């Protein structure tokens, strides 16, 4: 274990599997006390992974971890997370809003309840958790807020439309419009909060993979296609570490992609326990 995040307390949402679990494990390997949250406390057979399994891997390597089972679509549930982190570890230094929900369908087929659910989890939950964590961060001399985003914020090419274009086909069949809209709103809010919170030494950034991360959950649900760029989870975890450990005045107000950021900073991707660098081909 390293000590880059020694004495820091980090909350990571959606940490039962995938990118969230990878970030939690990487932060713990750097000495952070991590509070992980998701709906799935115990393995349920529906999707791989659980909070319990993530916590077991962290503790097996000597890390400190606390689990908070919560449904981020429920305002009452999400209001418990920051207070519980403060009660258990004494404060909050880092908040990583990773949890997200998506239903990839053309906009004309999106029911109102799905639109509301997407914004509850992808926008309102990160906003409210950030608002709740700020007080503790200020008391502790500063902090870092990282909101996970997506390249679905990018607009499709305008007319004339080419039916052979992959982006056009994607929007016709499994459109990311709703998901991308929630992430676009989150990016704009993050950039504004970064400017607002600079005087109190709190960095706010958004981070997205270059295209797709081949996490167990994404593969199981079919959220990524067969021709997607398969970015390792470790790359997102390493990029998150950089955005949540470097001086706040140095990296804030950025809406970045993981691999270009790591190249910009000259950082090597490591295994989740921080012990071994991955070969260059992985990123």
Q: What would the pLDDT profile of 47-57 be if each residue is shown by its tens digit?
A: 778 999 999 99
Query: What are the catalytic residues?
Result: 179
Q: Is the pLDDT of residue 25 over 60?
A: yes
pLDDT band at 172 (very low <50, low <70, confident <90, very high): confident
Element (H, E) at 95: strand 94-97
Domain ranges of the chain: 9-282
CATH 3.40.50.720, applies to 9-282: yes
Query: What was the pLDDT predicted at 231?
Result: 85
pLDDT tens per residue, range 51-97: 999 999 999 999 999 999 999 999 999 999 999 999 999 999 999 99
**pLDDT confidence of residue 40:** 84
Answer whether 238's CB lies under 8 Å from 259's CB.
Answer: no
Buried b (16+ CB within 10 A) or exposed e, 115-138: eebbbbbbbbbbbbbbebbbebbe
């Amino acid at each position: 274990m390293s000590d880059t995040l020694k004495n820091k307390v980090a909350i990571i949402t959606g940490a039962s599997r995938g990118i969230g679990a990878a970030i939690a494990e990487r932060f713990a390997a750097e000495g952070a006390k991590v509070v992980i949250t998701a709906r799935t406390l115990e393995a349920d057979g529906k999707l791989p992974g659980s909070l319990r399994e993530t916590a077991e891997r962290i503790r097996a390597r000597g890390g400190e971890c606390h689990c908070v089972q919560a449904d981020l679509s429920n305002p009452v549930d999400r209001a418990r997370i920051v207070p519980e982190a403060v009660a258990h570890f004494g404060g909050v230094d880092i908040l990583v809003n990773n949890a997200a929900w998506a239903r990839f369908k053309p906009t004309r087929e999106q029911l109102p309840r799905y639109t509301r659910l997407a914004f509850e989890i992808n926008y309102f939950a990160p906003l409210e958790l950030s608002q709740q964590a700020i007080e503790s961060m200020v008391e502790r001399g500063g902090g870092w807020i990282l909101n996970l985003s997506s390249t679905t914020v990018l607009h499709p090419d305008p007319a004339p439309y080419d039916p052979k274009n992959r982006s056009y086909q994607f929007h016709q069949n499994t459109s990311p419009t709703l998901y991308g809209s929630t992430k676009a709103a989150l990016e704009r809010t993050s950039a504004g909060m970064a400017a607002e919170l600079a005087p109190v030494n709190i960095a706010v950034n958004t981070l997205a993979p270059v295209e797709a991360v081949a996490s167990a959950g994404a593969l199981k649900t079919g959220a990524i296609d067969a021709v997607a760029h398969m970015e390792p989870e470790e790359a997102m975890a390493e990029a998150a570490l950089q955005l949540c450990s470097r001086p706040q005045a140095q990296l804030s107000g950025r809406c970045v992609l993981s691999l270009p950021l790591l190249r910009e900073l000259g950082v090597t991707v490591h295994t989740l326990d921080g012990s071994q660098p991955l070969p260059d081909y992985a990123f």
